[in-house]
Amino acid sequence: MISWKDKLVIIDMKLQHSTERKQTSKEIYRQACGVIPGGVSRNTVYRRPNPDYVANASGCYVTDIEGVQRVDFANNMAALIHGHAHPAIVDAVTEQLKKGTAYTLASEVEVRFAQLLNERAPGFEKIRFVNSGTEAVMAMIKASRAYTNRPKIAKAEGAYHGTYDFAEISQTANPTNWGDIKKPNSVPLANSTPQGVLNDVIIFPYNDIEKTIAILDAHADQIACVLIDPVPHRVGLLKGTNEFIEALYQWTRKNDALLVFDEVVTLRVNYGGAQENFSIKPDLTALGKIIGGGFPVGAIAGRSEVMKVLDPSELKIRFPHSGTFSANPITMTAGYVAMDLFDKAAVLKINALAQKAIMQIEQAIKIAEVSISITGAGSMFRIHPKKTPPKTYREAYQSNVEKSIINELLDYLYYKENIMMINTCACMFSTIISQKEVDVLAEAMLNGFKLIKPKLDKLQTN
């Protein structure tokens, strides 16, 4: 019988042999397709003819196995606020690894991390950790139902809130199925989504107070929560207006519903998240991405009264909840270090650099004489193939021709300029990015704009 030590030696020999043979991304992808559907476990890394495979990453640079080094403005879909392999996080996690990765016991670092996060925003009174942003939104919706004893939720057309059935409705609505703007359809994402799910999700147009309130009023006694992302990426990375957010808050107060924020992405906008921009406080907030320090994470924070539905010490537990790896000490340790480093000074610095980048890209737009606009907030922004910045999901929606132009720009930046961006043509900065990388980005954008100009001009004159 082979011992576990001998097995480790065999595995190490196999890995060394694989490294010595220097397989190409094409070869690895061919193997991947034999064991993984489509060869990838998340669609965001898929590209034709094959994905590239990472060799190593450090700071704001990622090197693939072919030896190509790229500047990273995607940061694992906005999750890495300090870039790759930050020394302080690596050291802290390495020490924790020696003590264990997960136990059927609580850990002190969970408490310390909860205290650190709750201090960041007035609306964070209690917090519970989970394992992803999707799980955080799912738990937030279920907690809202448990608290209000109501079945339905309301969410904005086009908004992405993870892969929970109820949260993903209408995230890809298009002109063929989105219906009248006064009463948008609940459009399924996954094939064979139950009709009951569609019936329990009310869709409203983002930033349109009059139409949204009218839609909510029609279901006032059944809505558990109004789910809102204060700067929704898929809608167009558009800021929620103060008037719109205030109107939603007042409606929920009047109708005994909850206003819940998805700040999985937007916590980076300010020290206290995007909600810091508003005078109101959401009842619950879903968190994720940057709070994990590079590890899988999610959290629900909110009013103590509402969070009590999760309390196992209550005589009647309204929302029984657990998770094998929730609040595991590796994630809690990495997250604590990451968020401790992301203090008020760090937030101001990264936001200022992102605004500088926007100014330089706007200058590139003028030089290239292209009709392109930019939206965003804090340390994130998105490029649109439109003359004026879109204000709604339907304005931000891209035709197939527009998508092909954006994809051409992204491919040019990736393959010719060695720049990584999110596939919506968005940038999510890390604190390790400097003016040097911003200058590289602006110059690359100028070259890319010149490349797509003929097709963009043709599209916009038709």
Same structural domain, 337 and 348: no
Same structural domain, 228 and 250: yes
Same structural domain, 60 and 109: no
Q: CATH code at 358? A: 3.90.1150.10
**Is 405's pLDDT higher than 60?**
yes
On whether the CB atoms of residues 257 and 141 are closer than 8 A, the answer is no
Domain membership of residue 200 (yes or no) is yes
Structure confidence by residue, pLDDT tens digits, 187-201: 999 999 999 999 999
Q: What is the pLDDT of residue 343?
A: 98
Same structural domain, 162 and 303: yes
Q: Average pLDDT, whole number, for the chain?
A: 95
How confident is the model over 213-222, as a mean pLDDT?
Answer: 98
* pTM greater than 0.85 (yes/no): yes
Q: How many domains does the chain have?
A: 2
Same structural domain, 296 and 373: no
On whether the CB atoms of residues 421 and 75 are closer than 8 A, the answer is no
444-460 per-residue burial string, b: 16 or more CB within 10 A, e: under 16 = bbbebbebbbebbeebe
On whether the CB atoms of residues 223 and 257 are closer than 8 A, the answer is yes
DSSP conformation class of 10: H
Same structural domain, 410 and 439: yes
| CA–CA distance, 242 with 415 (Å, rounded to integer) | 40
Residue 57: alpha-carbon gap to chain centroid: 20
**Is 18's pLDDT higher than 70?**
no
Backbone angles phi, psi at 458, to 5 degrees: -65, -45
**Higher pLDDT residue, 99 or 48?**
99
Q: What is the pLDDT of residue 107?
A: 96
Q: What is the pLDDT of residue 19?
A: 55
Q: CATH code at 317? A: 3.40.640.10
Rg from Cα positions in the chain: 23
Domain boundary among 341, 372, 404: 341
Q: What is the pLDDT of residue 406?
A: 97
**Is 16's pLDDT higher than 90?**
no
How confident is the model over 451-462, as a mean pLDDT?
Answer: 91
Structure confidence by residue, pLDDT tens digits, 102-122: 999 999 999 999 999 999 999
**Is 10's pLDDT higher than 90?**
no
Beta strands per DSSP E along 291-409: 298-302, 373-377, 380-384
Structure confidence by residue, pLDDT tens digits, 261-285: 999 999 999 999 999 999 999 999 9
Structure confidence by residue, pLDDT tens digits, 55-97: 999 999 999 999 999 999 999 999 999 999 999 999 999 999 9
Indicate the residue type of 229.
Answer: D
Residue 207 belongs to domain spanning:
88-341
Domain membership of residue 379 (yes or no) is yes
